[in-house]
Amino acid sequence: MRRTESNVAFALGFFALALGLLVARANPATSYEASVYSATPTAVWAFFGLALAISVVAALACRGRSQTLGMALGGTTVTSIVGLPAIRNYRFSGMGDALTHLGWTRDIVDGQLAPLELIYPGVHTLGTALHFLAGIPIERALLLTVVVLFIPFVIFVPLTVRDITGNPAAVGVAAIVSWMVLPINNVATHMGVHTNSNALFLVPVVVFALVAYLRRRSTIERLPFGVSPFSLLIYLSGIALLLVHPQQMINVVVLVGAIACIQFLARWRFDDHPVVKQPTTYAHTVVLGALFAIWTVSNERFRTAAVGLLEGMVTADVGAGAEVDQRGSSLTEIGGSLGELFVAMFLDAAVIAVIVGLFVLATWLGLTRLDREASTFVTYFALALVPLGGIFLIYFVGTPTMAFRQVGFIFVILTILAGIAVAHLVGGASRVITRSGATTVASVALGALLVLGLMTVYASPIIYNPGQHVTDQQFSGYESALEHGAEDYPHAGLGYDPFRYDHGLNGLEGEETLSGATVATGEADPDALETGNYTGAYHGFDYYLIVTDYDVTREIDVYQELHYSAESLEGLDSEPTVNKVISNDEFEMYAIASDEEDADE
């Protein structure tokens, strides 16, 4: 591509990106949105699609300045997609852990909680800083924090691959694969205020520092006491990762430790090998491991989680098999299937994993054209997946949700390896067909996988999981309910315990737990509601039943009345023991008494 043509293409791409952002900003969310994809104007997706198409072609076909511009365009576009809740003026996003993290941030802002009292204060501290520096609401500050922490991922994945191979084709492919956001699986890792998931996007920074340390053997670049600046970068980025979430830090310790073991064995076995010439990671393993141990072992929440994992491993009904069977049965009842869900959520990740696996095997068999040092890094990361996979198996037996968090980390490593693997696949194809033909095929294939990956960055009905958009009306309804409700009335939700809103609105007052609340809360019994037994739907107590647009969308539209029916909800308005006490466009709360006399009082 000539300079003039490339300049015109990039001008068009960045103009399309700017138009997409302007249209998205001009069309803010006005009510609850089950899918940020369908609610965002089609023109936005057309503009973003054009920008991504130009960036994919440039990342693969161009070199030098043009390739850099292409990667910048693609990375900015994907970051804009990640930032859509903030761009389209969502009040907040996330109804689970996110609301609790909002509560902790509110406690820090109000001076009721010191950041270091939390085991992972990174997100909350950054959100607090944005709140004070920019003068924006806490909810918006946290949405922007998600974007800020995502940016290192799209920058440092291609930088790491460049340091490993120096191959521009691999760098371009790595950038494109990073745009697929494979670490997010919407099972246990989510795009939102979710510290474990947010930490995944910092992992490439640590890996880049590690690769840079191993690649640079010069003794000239030294800090006082002979410390390598790249060693210092490893420690500083490791500390940042630890503060965002320790679970991903321990994965980094395992990764660095695996490399240290390989180096030890190589020094024992070989006299002339790139591993022997590289500086060792023994000290880094010890220091990072010590930082993790000092920070976590004394923390009560960490000890509780460890005990829960051990209990899960020895309890027959906690394992993943029963959970998968249960969810598969539920999907069948509403017309879906695990196979369909797998294609929507994991096909892109599965294709990348297979390509990487075959490439690693080919590298070990000597069938690739990688130089010895680049092959060494492939071996490092591939063998590190063995202990990382072992941790996944432990989680899978004990706490399946944690297993999918581990999958998120594994796909950070696979994303890096994919840049090298796919580039070699394209290079091999160019020897069979023309280079332009191989690049065209790769552009189409990677573009298709990119679309599939971006379709599931956020939850939506396409994966039977409506978006967790929290609106002003929902916050207002819960605030009124929690502030003005009778103290002896618990609050019950439809398949959803509303205690998280108590966290988000009132904070946790320094209580480091994801389950405590200042009011009694729970879930209404679906079987009782279906039979019209509204008074018996919450242990026979007088209680408040909360129904939001999110609940109706999830239970009626997405789950197709699997647990709660529209008829049972409509019956609330004609039941003598039920009084509607709060109502707005997206929130309704009913006071349900155990008998008619109580209802009339």
Residue pLDDT, tens place only, 483-513? 888 888 999 999 888 899 999 999 987 555 5
Residue type, 27: N
Average pLDDT over residues 205-234: 79
Burial category of 147 from C-beta neighbours within 10 Å (exposed 0-12, middle 13-18, buried 19 and up): middle
| For the chain, counts of helices (H) and of strands (E) | 27, 7
From residue 406, how far is each of 174, 185, 269 by CA, in Å?
A: 21, 11, 32
Q: What are phi and psi of 65, to 5 degrees?
A: -60, -45
**Model confidence pLDDT, tens digit, residues 445-471:** 999 999 999 999 999 999 999 999 999
- What pLDDT was estimated at residue 316? 44
For residues 457 and 345, what is the distance between their CA atoms, to the nearest angstrom? Answer: 9
- What pLDDT was estimated at residue 309? 54
The CATH architecture of the domain made up of 471-600 is 3-Layer(aba) Sandwich (3.40)
Burial category of 329 from C-beta neighbours within 10 Å (exposed 0-12, middle 13-18, buried 19 and up): exposed
Predicted TM-score (pTM) of this structure: 0.93
pLDDT of 25 over the 60 cut: yes
- What pLDDT was estimated at residue 224? 65
HSE toward the beta carbon, residue 6, CA cutoff 13 A: 18
Provide the CA 210 distance to its chain's centre, in angstroms: 23
Question: Does the CA dihedral 435-437-438-444 come out positive or negative?
Answer: positive
- The two tokens of residue 264 are 């030890």
pLDDT of 323 over the 70 cut: no
For residues 214 and 379, what is the distance between their CA atoms, to the nearest angstrom? Answer: 14
pLDDT above 90: percentage of residues in the chain: 69
pLDDT-derived band at 562, boundaries 50, 70, 90 = confident
pLDDT-derived band at 117, boundaries 50, 70, 90 = confident
Q: Which residues contact 179 (CB under 8 A, 6 or more apart)?
A: 52, 74, 75, 77, 78, 154, 450, 453, 454
- What pLDDT was estimated at residue 153? 98
Of 293-307, 331-345, 448-462, 518-532, highest mean pLDDT: 448-462
Which DSSP string corresponds to 487-503?
TT--EEESSS-THHHHH
pLDDT of 184 over the 80 cut: yes
For residues 151 and 75, what is the distance between their CA atoms, to the nearest angstrom? Answer: 8
For residues 71 and 80, what is the distance between their CA atoms, to the nearest angstrom? Answer: 14
- What pLDDT was estimated at residue 303? 64
Helix (H, G, I), strand (E, B) or coil at 281: coil
- The two tokens of residue 267 are 């020094």
What is the chain's alpha carbon radius of gyration, rounded to the nearest angstrom? 26
Residue 381 has a CB neighbour count (10 Å cut-off) of: 22
- The two tokens of residue 45 are 């997706």
Q: Which residues are paired to 475 by β-bridges? A: none
For residues 366 and 139, what is the distance between their CA atoms, to the nearest angstrom? Answer: 53
pLDDT of 322 over the 60 cut: no
pLDDT-derived band at 307, boundaries 50, 70, 90 = low
Burial category of 318 from C-beta neighbours within 10 Å (exposed 0-12, middle 13-18, buried 19 and up): middle
Average pLDDT over residues 465-480: 95
pLDDT-derived band at 317, boundaries 50, 70, 90 = very low
pLDDT of 369 over the 90 cut: no
User: Of 98-112, 291-305, 578-592, where does mean pLDDT reach its minimum?
Assistant: 291-305
Are 79 and 154 in contact by the 8 Å Cβ rule? The answer is yes
431 vs 71, residue with greater confidence: 71
For residues 489 and 499, what is the distance between their CA atoms, to the nearest angstrom? Answer: 14
Helix (H, G, I), strand (E, B) or coil at 449: helix
Length of the chain: 601
pLDDT-derived band at 53, boundaries 50, 70, 90 = very high
Q: Which residues contact 94 (CB under 8 A, 6 or more apart)?
A: 102, 190, 192, 193, 194, 468, 470
Provide the CA 292 distance to its chain's centre, in angstroms: 22
User: Of 276-280, 434-438, 592-596, where does mean pLDDT reach its minimum?
Assistant: 592-596
- What pLDDT was estimated at residue 312? 54
Average pLDDT over residues 417-422: 97
Q: Which residues contact 353 (CB under 8 A, 6 or more apart)?
A: 411, 414
pLDDT-derived band at 150, boundaries 50, 70, 90 = very high
Are 388 and 410 in contact by the 8 Å Cβ rule? The answer is yes
In this structure, the strands spanning 543-548 and 469-470 are: unpaired
pLDDT-derived band at 315, boundaries 50, 70, 90 = low
Residue type, 569: L
- What pLDDT was estimated at residue 318? 46
pLDDT of 415 over the 60 cut: yes
From residue 4, how far is each of 132, 376, 481, 598 by CA, in Å?
A: 45, 40, 62, 79
pLDDT of 479 over the 70 cut: yes
Are 327 and 339 in contact by the 8 Å Cβ rule? The answer is no
At CA 276, angle to CA 270 and CA 277, rounded to 5? 140
Calculate the average pLDDT of the chain.
Answer: 89
